[in-house]
Amino acid sequence: MKCVDDFRLRLGRHELVPIVIGGMGVDISTVELALEAARLGGIGHISDAMVPTVIDRHFKTRYVKDKLQQYKANVKNLADKSLVKFHLGELEDATRMHVRRAMDAKRGDGMVFINCMEKLTMNAPRETLKVRLSAALDAGIDGITLAAGLHLGSFGLIENHPRFRDARLGIIVSSLRALQLFLRKNGRTNRLPDYVVVEGPLAGGHLGFGMDWAQYDLAAIVAEIQAWLKAEQLEIPLIPAGGIFTGSDAAAFLEGGAAAVQVATRFTVTKECGLPDPVKQEYFRADEDDIEVNGISPTGYPMRMIKGSPGIGAGTHPNCESFGYLLDANGRCAYIDAYNREVAAAGETKKIKVVDKTCLCTHMRDFDIWTCGHYAYRLKDTSVRGADGDYALLSAEHVFRDYQYSRDGKIALPSPPVQAA
């Protein structure tokens, strides 16, 4: 059987190791993780989720504090958040800083992309999305992956940008119908996507399926799209994602005609990943029964996570004045509605729990929602356990190389930790 290294992904003039590390927000797929993928000849993603918050963390800026100060008088107004807006100039500056931090440090023959989520509606969906896309292109990003939404008008937002036909632009879909809609709606720009990530039902985080996700199969979806592209005489590289846990899993898709694979969950327990080390140990310790798909995301998409995530069931006061990334065009969020319902039922003075939704902005920022792929329970099989009970954290290079060179379903383990004398 072949291994991943027997194949190459061709994007324009670039020839790459066909391994793409998917975007994980907020600041889970860090700049450092993306840079390692690029150094090793593959593609790494940074995420555009809550970029002003991420920039505050790394550059000691005051985007969040200044926004809260501006809208402080509205914090207790849980009936109307329509006044809470992002400053587009500051959003542009933060996005440029985020991207330049990666691009200025990039080494190797690989590429760095940014994962751009349409569902970050930010109380001005089109305006904020255009700023985020344009600023990423301005700052020199190699490519943009359009995620978490159909993006039916996204190409149109940047078609006049000087890098519109220069940068690599792709989209994540979970069905042939979604791809067909995207191509039809964006057809007037006379530009095909450079690649299509086909995300299956075993992926982590938000899913492009309903709660009937278990009825679907990634290989079947990929085969259906491949057949349609062939019939339409369209040559668009397909990149399967979701549930690809070993190099052998990846090689099977590549032998079937896929251009590359996108992987993420195994990189959550690397040193370069942005999750706090104690949370990484929770990922290692998770069993199969600890992984669930639920409906707590205010976006309306089902979401896969570890069910011990502290953010599940929390009754956090909405923090829209600080964050507000999921406010729709009318300043509404499903979590605010759920929170107000529980407050009305319990009374203002009582501590409440909101079970059916979560304040995703707050809890993703604080690493309290532990999103993961279906096979996260197998992470313990990729490491070794020390005398203290903790698993050894892996390097991104170790995981990348294991995907690249492993065969026969095997997983390379790290060297055992050295015990103190």
pLDDT of 373 > 80? The answer is yes
As a whole number of angstroms, the distance between CA 400 and CA 33 comes to 11
pLDDT computed for residue 415 by the predictor: 84
322-348, pLDDT tens digit by residue?
999 999 999 999 999 999 999 999 886
Give the side-chain half-sphere CA count within 13 A for 171: 24
Burial (CB count within 10 angstroms: exposed 0-12, middle 13-18, buried 19+), residue 416: exposed
| Within-domain flag for 415 | no
Specify the number of domains making up the chain. 1
pLDDT computed for residue 347 by the predictor: 82
| Within-domain flag for 149 | yes
> Closest Cα to residue 354, out of 299, 311, 320, 291?
311
| Within-domain flag for 22 | yes
As a whole number of angstroms, the distance between CA 319 and CA 190 comes to 41
Report residue 123: phi and psi, to 5°. Answer: 65, 15
Which pair of structure tokens corresponds to residue 36?
A: 């390692």
| Within-domain flag for 304 | no
141-185, pLDDT tens digit by residue?
999 999 999 999 999 999 999 999 999 999 999 999 999 999 999
Torsion angle in degrees (nearest 10) through CA of 264, 303, 50, 22: 20
| Within-domain flag for 377 | no
pLDDT of 116 > 70? The answer is yes
Cα dist. 257→211, 252, 404 in Å?
Answer: 29, 9, 17
Q: How confident is the model at residue 351 (pLDDT cuts 50, 70, 90)?
A: confident
CATH number of the domain at 191, please.
3.20.20.70
> Closest Cα to residue 270, out of 419, 115, 401, 172?
401
Q: How confident is the model at residue 418 (pLDDT cuts 50, 70, 90)?
A: low
6-21, pLDDT tens digit by residue?
999 999 999 999 999 9
Q: Could you tell me the strand order of the sheet in which 303-306 lies?
A: 205-206, 303-306, 291-294
Radius of gyration of the chain from Cα atoms?
Answer: 21
pLDDT computed for residue 284 by the predictor: 98
Torsion angle in degrees (nearest 10) through CA of 195, 44, 130, 193: -10
* Predicted TM-score of the model (pTM): 0.97
Q: How confident is the model at residue 189 (pLDDT cuts 50, 70, 90)?
A: very high
202-253, pLDDT tens digit by residue?
999 999 999 999 999 999 999 999 999 999 999 999 999 999 999 999 999 9
| Within-domain flag for 33 | yes
26-79, pLDDT tens digit by residue?
999 999 999 999 999 999 999 999 999 999 999 999 999 999 999 999 999 999
As a whole number of angstroms, the distance between CA 75 and CA 81 comes to 9
Q: How confident is the model at residue 1 (pLDDT cuts 50, 70, 90)?
A: confident
| Within-domain flag for 371 | no
Domain that holds residue 264: 4-272+387-405
pLDDT of 419 > 60? The answer is no
Amino acid at 301: Y
| Within-domain flag for 188 | yes
pLDDT computed for residue 349 by the predictor: 54
